[in-house]
Amino acid sequence: MRVLRRNLTAYGFLCAALACFAVFAWYPMIREFVLSFQKTTLVNPPSWVGLDNFLTVVQNPAFGKAWLNTVEFTALALLCGYAVPFVMALVLNELRHARAYLRFVVYLPVMLPPIVAVLLFRWFFDPGPGLFNQLLDFFHLPALAWLDSSSTALISLVIVATWMNMGSATLIYLAALQNIPSELYEAAELDGAGIFKRIRHVTIPQTRLILLLMLMLQVVATMQVFIEPYMLTGGGPEDATMTVAFQMYQFAFTLQDYGAGGALGMMLMIVLLAFAAVQLRLTREDKA
Amino acid sequence: MSTREKRAPKRIEVQFRTIVSPHQLNSRWGRRIYWTVLIAVVTGSTLVFVFPLYWMITGAMKTGEEIAQMPPTLFPAHPTFDAFIEAWDLFDIGVLLKNTAFYALGAWVFSMGVDVAAAYALSKLRPMFGNVVLGAMLATLMIPPMVVIIPLYVTIVDLHLLNNAWGLWFPAAANGFNIFLLKRFFDSIPRELVEAAQIDGAGPLRVLWSVILPISRPILGVVSIFTIVTAFKDFLLPLLVMTDSENMTVSVGLSQTAGAVSQNQIMGGLVISSIPMIIVFFIFQRHIMAGLTAGSIKG
């Protein structure tokens, strides 16, 4: 009787959360699966269409390009968004002055609403009076077309994404670096390890878990990039910035083809889950 | 004599040892390199992270002609606040900010209520299948939000929650990370405290209110700020759910009108809509930075 009562109270406390999760987190996952096999217009009741949605998605001319771009974007963003914050954190950790100021400044862009960063950089990228071309001009370097050229559009998006997101990664690394016991460095120094050897044999092994975790978070975050192509390029020029997430949005909300959007979403989900599984495995082996 | 002269420069204080040893740091070359790097990093970070904001603010204070001028001016020739006033009217920022504050505060109140109750039940009341429920809630963290945005939108449409604040508040409460952080903190509260209160005749609600919540202030602060900041910064879901212009959030409103107004007016709008978050950052800087590492380091 007491057990029953305790369970009833507990589920009384839980029921609101259960309802929210059920309707707005668990059900959408199932719904995505169902959506991808249905024709959904939100006006007429949905009908089953088998694999039609997947065919629509695969036959779209920009399909391959979108995946290629997503991989390229992720690789570029890893280069900038993963390596740069780690180096930044390493340097910040060595400095003995201006620490509070530097932490504040690095995190400042993270606090801005993404739309602010994106619209600000849209102006910087302006080929005419935009800040970047004016700076290039000041140093007598040739102007770039930035968002208007298919060769520089993707890297321009990476620049914005890095600028507005790198603060959080930097501070997380910084906290991890501060947890490394100083005896390890002292021991390494006694053994004659120079600065780079100390980084390689002490710093990196000690922060390995957080590095792996951040790698996963970074990849998952970049794969979902949306606001940058939505506001800055609309996927162009010549599909140069068409990413999977943005194409998904276009299918669903520009073409009103929720089924095709759902099918593409399923594909993205499978890829990301496979990636997470591999990652988890790597981390496990690491612990053992 | 000469050694004393060389010792004259101020020693760099080292409270904790890092990669570079204090001895190396305070050698002659160590000191030179240190100051060079310090100056380079401080100027570099200021240029990269603060200068764009300076450019945004001064851009808003320039006239329409001056902002399009090549080469650009470093200071506005005739600083004016006209663009801010124009932006306020053109973007209807008053309404946008009011909406955003309403959604953010509502999301905070609602998701704190829901998530605290759930974390308390899972941590201290320990019902049957509690671990299954927790696992299913944490599993949602593995699925990136973007991937399920379409079915989530379809669900919201089916429930007739378009242009309804609940269309943002319900999804905000289904936050596995909040539950994870709260439950982990509640787990660290000793059982004896709860039992002592129970012996004094306190029911579960009383225990939560008078024992658990007062102790949990730090984690409540962290989760609160993150919920509010996330709600303020969110873009895609408000874009889809709040379609009527009188219901839009700041981010969505700016994105929809930015094509139709001039550059200095856009900058004025951006400055105004950044101010609330910058103020939050100044006040809660410590909490925000503590929260950043709360989940990731030991999780």
**CATH number of the domain that A206 lies in?**
1.10.3720.10
Interface test with B, best of A35, A57, A102, A111 (most B CBs within 10 A): A111
Q: In chain B, which residues have their Cβ closer than 8 Å to the Cβ of A120?
A: 52, 55-56, 267, 270
* Residue A36: inside a domain: no
Tokens found for residue B130: 């509690």
Tokens found for residue A83: 């390596």
Measured between CB atoms, does B113 come within 8 Å of chain A? yes
* Residue A26: inside a domain: no
Measured between CB atoms, does B185 come within 8 Å of chain A? no
Q: In chain B, which residues have their Cβ closer than 8 Å to the Cβ of A202?
A: 19
* Residue A20: inside a domain: no
Instruction: Write out chain B's pLDDT in tens, 299 residues.
Output: 444 444 556 777 777 778 887 777 888 888 888 899 999 999 999 999 999 999 999 999 988 888 888 788 888 888 888 889 998 998 889 999 999 999 999 999 999 999 999 999 999 888 889 899 999 999 888 888 888 999 999 999 999 999 999 999 999 999 999 999 999 999 999 988 988 998 998 888 999 999 999 999 888 988 898 899 899 999 999 999 999 988 999 999 999 988 888 888 999 999 999 999 999 898 888 888 877 776 554 33
Crossing angle of the two packed helices A2-21 and B130-139, in degrees rounded to 10: 10
Residue B172 identity:
A
Q: Do A24 and B236 touch (CB under 8 A)?
A: no
Please state the domain count of chain A: 1
The pLDDT value recorded for residue B295 is 55
Q: In chain A, which residues have their Cβ closer than 8 Å to the Cβ of B255?
A: 115, 119, 230-231
Residue A39 main-chain phi, psi, to 5 deg: -95, 115
The pLDDT value recorded for residue B134 is 93
* Residue A106: inside a domain: yes
Q: Are B184 and B119 in contact (CB under 8 A)?
A: no
In chain B, positions 274-293, which contact chain A (CB-CB < 8 Å)?
Answer: 274, 277-278, 280-281, 285, 288-289, 292-293
The pLDDT value recorded for residue A62 is 85
Asked if ipTM goes beyond 0.90, one says: no
Q: How far apart are CA B266 and CA A137, in angstroms?
A: 25
Could you give the dihedral angle defined by the CA atoms of residues A159, A160, A161 and A164, in that order, rounded to the nearest 10 degrees? 120
Residue A116's domain comprises: 64-243+265-287
Q: Do B55 and A101 touch (CB under 8 A)?
A: no
Q: In chain B, which residues have their Cβ closer than 8 Å to the Cβ of A38?
A: none
The pLDDT value recorded for residue A195 is 83
The pLDDT value recorded for residue B1 is 42
* Residue A54: inside a domain: no
Q: Are B243 and B163 in contact (CB under 8 A)?
A: yes
* Residue A46: inside a domain: no
The pLDDT-based confidence of A28 (bands split at 50, 70, 90) is very high
Measured between CB atoms, does B142 come within 8 Å of chain A? yes
Residue A38 main-chain phi, psi, to 5 deg: -120, 160
Q: Do B117 and A171 touch (CB under 8 A)?
A: no
Using CB atoms, pick whichever of B236, B266, B277 lies closest to residue A113. Answer: B277
The pLDDT-based confidence of A287 (bands split at 50, 70, 90) is low
Q: Up-side HSE of residue B156: CA atoms within 13 Å toward CB?
A: 26
In chain B, positions 39-78, which contact chain A (CB-CB < 8 Å)?
Answer: 41-42, 45-46, 48-50, 52-53, 55-56, 59, 67-72
A30: helix, coil or strand?
helix
Q: Which residues lie closer than 8 Å to A53 by C-beta, 6 or more apart? A: A36, A37, A38, A39, A257, A259, A260, A262, A263
Nearest CA in chain A to B150: A262
Q: Do B52 and A248 touch (CB under 8 A)?
A: no
Check pLDDT > 60 for residue A253.
yes
Alpha carbon of A51: minimum distance to chain B alpha carbons (Å):
18
Using CB atoms, pick whichever of A92, A113, A261 lies closest to residue B251. Answer: A113
Return the ∠ at Cα B15 (arms to B14 and B21), rounded to 5°: 45
Q: Do A186 and B21 touch (CB under 8 A)?
A: yes
Find how far residue B134's CA is from the centre of its chain. Answer: 25
In chain B, positions 246-275, which contact chain A (CB-CB < 8 Å)?
Answer: 250-252, 254-255, 258, 263, 266-267, 270, 273-274
Q: How far apart are CA A240 and CA A256, in angstroms?
A: 23
Alpha carbon of B39: minimum distance to chain A alpha carbons (Å):
10
The pLDDT value recorded for residue A191 is 86
The pLDDT value recorded for residue A219 is 85
Interface test with A, best of B12, B14, B18, B21 (most A CBs within 10 A): B18
Nearest CA in chain B to A36: B151
Q: In chain A, which residues have their Cβ closer than 8 Å to the Cβ of B213?
A: none
Rama region for A50: left / alpha / beta (φ>0; ψ in -120 to 50; rest): left
Give pTM, 2 decimals: 0.88
Q: Are A267 and A94 in contact (CB under 8 A)?
A: no
Nearest CA in chain B to A101: B42
* Residue A41: inside a domain: no
Q: How far apart are CA A226 and CA A157, in angstroms?
A: 10
Q: Do B70 and A268 touch (CB under 8 A)?
A: no
Measured between CB atoms, does B155 come within 8 Å of chain A? yes
Q: How far apart are CA B127 and CA A246, in angstroms?
A: 42
Helix H or strand E encompassing A47: strand A47-48
Give, as one character, the DSSP assignment of residue B228: H
Residue A248 main-chain phi, psi, to 5 deg: -60, -45
The pLDDT value recorded for residue B38 is 93
B127 to A26, B133, B197: CA distances (angstroms): 20, 10, 20
Q: Do A273 and B233 touch (CB under 8 A)?
A: no
Sort B68 into a burial class: Cβ within 10 Å, 0-12 / 13-18 / 19+. Answer: middle
Mean pLDDT of A196-209: 87
Q: Do A29 and B148 touch (CB under 8 A)?
A: yes
State the Rg of chain B over Cα. 26
Domains of chain B, by residue range, sit at 2-60, 86-294
Q: Are B274 and A116 in contact (CB under 8 A)?
A: yes
Q: Count how many residues are written for chain A.
A: 288
The pLDDT value recorded for residue A5 is 86
The pLDDT-based confidence of A211 (bands split at 50, 70, 90) is confident
Q: Decide if domain B86-294 falls under CATH 1.10.3720.10.
A: yes
A48: helix, coil or strand?
strand
Q: Do A16 and B117 touch (CB under 8 A)?
A: yes
Q: How far apart are CA A262 and CA A56, in angstroms?
A: 11
Q: Which residues lie closer than 8 Å to B78 by C-beta, 6 or more apart? A: B63, B66
- Reply yes or no: is the peptide bond before residue B71 cis, omega within 30 of 0: yes
Using CB atoms, pick whichever of B16, B133, B233 lies closest to residue A113. Answer: B233
B195 to B185, B198, B202, B208, B220: CA distances (angstroms): 17, 5, 9, 12, 22
Q: Which residues lie closer than 8 Å to B155 by C-beta, 6 or more apart? A: A23, A24, A27, A28, A31
Nearest CA in chain A to B298: A210
Crossing angle of the two packed helices B93-120 and B263-294, in degrees rounded to 10: 10
Q: Do A7 and B127 touch (CB under 8 A)?
A: yes
Tokens found for residue A238: 């010549």
- The owner of tokens 């878990």 is A209
